[in-house]
């Protein structure tokens, strides 16, 4: 008889043990021939070596399952403990990009979202262009999280230009970080859908995921990174050139933007419009244009966008 201490890495024990240890009790019931004691991140197994090795193997599988699907239920535990290769067939769906919190399937939900996914496999620099509510940024962040999980990249960098959309940044309360965070909130919201809260906090603290205003990109070289620039229409020509030239080794870049919502001062030209004109035919760069068919928000959003588009076209005709 031996005693072995197993340290849980990369998982919050609550996710493995369950509320009131309901999941842990199911696991220990399966390994009734050994004694299992769980104390925070440490699990102590006492018994015959063969049984302990089998327990350790299943424990690793349970943790890998949680990392992949972001959930672990009693039914999942039963399937894993009684199956030879549970991860090969469980929830098999080639269209799923990642499994978000509580096992929610995150996948492309429109033609152009799927086109963005397909073009990502073939290109290192992508532009995702189109109106609000089409899932451009959300799909891009899902691709980034998947790449991080699969170790295709070492970190994710998300940034936005801090451009005021009819409101004054200076009058917001707090220090500079407090003033800028509201501009970056949509990026935080998407990440919270896809990564468990404690793991996301760890990623942010360790710099594995970085969320910053565009100005913070100057002078950097971003190697082995998945970088997303959101609201690209609000960059100047020089800003977007600066951003694009940050691209380092084994990097993936996605720029999202809506050319109908440019908030720059009238004398400044959008860097996104210039980039679309200059870079469209360069090999390795792809531009995916979203439209009203891709709107995945409330059904009224599509009608609102359509109304504004019609109004803009009428004003252009009358000029």
Q: What count of other Cβ atoms lies within 10 Å of the Cβ of residue 79?
A: 14
d(CA 24, CA 43): 11
* 309 has pLDDT over 90: no
d(CA 173, CA 21): 43
Q: pLDDT band at 314, cuts 50/70/90?
A: low
d(CA 236, CA 166): 17
Phi, psi at 9, each rounded to 5°:
-115, 140
* 261 has pLDDT over 80: yes
Q: What count of other Cβ atoms lies within 10 Å of the Cβ of residue 96?
A: 17
Cβ partners under 8 Å of residue 56, min gap 6: 4, 6, 45
Mean pLDDT of the chain: 85
Q: What length does the chain have?
A: 319
Helix ranges (DSSP H) in the chain: 13-17, 22-30, 49-69, 74-82, 86-89, 111-122, 136-149, 176-194, 197-206, 237-244, 271-279, 299-318
Q: Where in the chain is the domain with CATH 3.40.50.300?
A: 96-318
State residue 167's pLDDT score: 45
The predicted-structure confidence for 115-132, as pLDDT tens digits, reads as follows 999 999 999 999 999 988
For 25, 187, 233, 289, the CA distances from 159, given in Å and listed in that order, are 44, 8, 13, 21
> What CATH superfamily classification does 96-318 receive?
P-loop containing nucleotide triphosphate hydrolases (3.40.50.300)
Q: Within 13 A of 296's CA, how many CA atoms are on the CB side?
A: 16
Mean pLDDT within 236-265 = 92
> Per mean pLDDT, which of 27-31, 157-161, 249-253 is the most reliable?
249-253
* 277 has pLDDT over 90: yes
Q: Are 228 and 99 in contact (CB under 8 A)?
A: no
Whole-structure pTM value? 0.73
d(CA 83, CA 303): 50
Give me 102's structure tokens: 């509580």
Q: Count Cβ neighbours within 10 Å for each residue of 241-269 and write b for 16 or more, e otherwise.
A: ebbbebbeeebbbbbbbbeeebebeeeee
Class of domain 2-89: alpha beta
Q: Where in the chain is the domain with CATH 3.30.1370.10?
A: 2-89
């Amino acid at each position: 008889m031996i005693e072995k201490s197993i340290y849980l890495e990369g998982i919050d024990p609550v996710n493995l043990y369950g509320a009131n240890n309901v999941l842990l009790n199911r696991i220990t019931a399966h390994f009734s021939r050994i004694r299992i004691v769980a104390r925070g991140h440490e699990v102590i197994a006492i018994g015959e070596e063969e049984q302990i090795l089998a327990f350790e193997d299943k424990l690793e599988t349970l943790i890998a399952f949680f990392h992949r699907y972001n959930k672990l239920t009693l039914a999942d535990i039963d399937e894993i403990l009684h199956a030879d290769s549970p991860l090969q067939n469980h929830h098999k769906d080639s269209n799923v990009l990642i499994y978000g919190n509580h096992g929610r399937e995150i996948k492309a939900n429109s033609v152009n979202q799927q086109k963005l996914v397909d073009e990502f496999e073939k290109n290192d620099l992508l532009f995702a262009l189109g109106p609000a509510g089409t899932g451009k940024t959300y799909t891009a962040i899902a691709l980034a999280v998947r790449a991080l999980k699969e170790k295709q990249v070492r970190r994710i960098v998300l940034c936005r230009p801090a451009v005021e959309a009819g409101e004054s940044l200076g009058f917001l309360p707090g220090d500079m970080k407090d003033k800028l965070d509201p501009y970056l909130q949509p990026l935080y919201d998407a990440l919270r859908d896809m990564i468990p809260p404690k793991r996301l906090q760890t990623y942010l603290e360790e710099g594995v995921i970085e969320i910053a205003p565009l100005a913070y990109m100057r002078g950097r070289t971003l190697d082995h990174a998945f970088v997303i620039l959101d609201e690209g229409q609000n960059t100047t020509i020089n800003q977007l050139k600066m951003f694009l030239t940050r691209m380092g080794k084994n990097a993936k870049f996605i720029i999202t933007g809506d050319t109908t919502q440019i908030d720059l001062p009238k004398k400044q030209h959008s860097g996104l419009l210039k980039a679309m004109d200059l870079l469209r035919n360069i090999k390795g760069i792809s531009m995916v244009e979203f439209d009203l068919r891709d709107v995945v928000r409330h059904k009224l959003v599509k009608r609102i966008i359509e109304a504004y588009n019609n109004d803009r076209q009428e004003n252009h005709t009358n000029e």
